Amino acid sequence: MIAHIYKRQYERVRLSASAKIFIGDKKIDGLRTKDISLSGIYVTGKIVDCQSGPCRISIQGTWLDTEPIVLNFSARVSRQGYSGTGFQITQMNHVDFETLQTFLLYGSPDPMDHGLAFARHCPFEVGNIEATQQPGQPISNLTC
């Protein structure tokens, strides 16, 4: 997907949820998310321990006032700023990908356009990933 230089490639949807980041055997918790898109998630606060390598992220929250949302995926830091850290999703299992799709479609002001993005291009691997699997381990690939 080609994006204008001033436009993000994928639409962001606001998501305020708790986040945990796992880097090797370290766990960083007590974090909050700001928003999520098909390509990544923004976590408030600077995470020093996750500068270059892959990590696992687990988020839990609610949407539509009552519905729980739980997502687990592999990611890497794409940008860091004073107020937070952006992560690019690199791997996600089938169930979490379906949850992400549903959440993004319900939260989007233009769900038809958002749905087309799923059909055109998935920017990360979707496969049989266990929540405890470490980044870099092979998974069964599925093309989106």
Q: Measured between alpha carbons, how far is residue 88 from residues 54, 73, 109, 139 in Å?
A: 10, 10, 23, 18
Summarize pLDDT for 107-121 with one digit per residue, the tens: 888 777 767 777 676
Domain of residue 119 covers: 13-129
d(CA 23, CA 36) in angstroms, rounded, equals 20
Q: What is the CATH number of the domain that holds 21?
A: 2.40.10.220
Task: Report if residue 53 sits inside a domain.
Answer: yes
Domain count for the chain? 1
d(CA 6, CA 48): 28
Q: Does residue 19 lie in a domain region?
A: yes
Q: Decide if 137 is inside a domain.
A: no
**Alpha carbons 97 and 91: distance in angstroms, whole number:** 9
Looking at the domain assignment, is residue 36 inside a domain?
A: yes
Q: What confidence tens digit (pLDDT) does each residue in 45-103 have?
A: 867 766 667 899 999 998 777 888 999 999 998 888 888 999 999 999 989 988 998 88
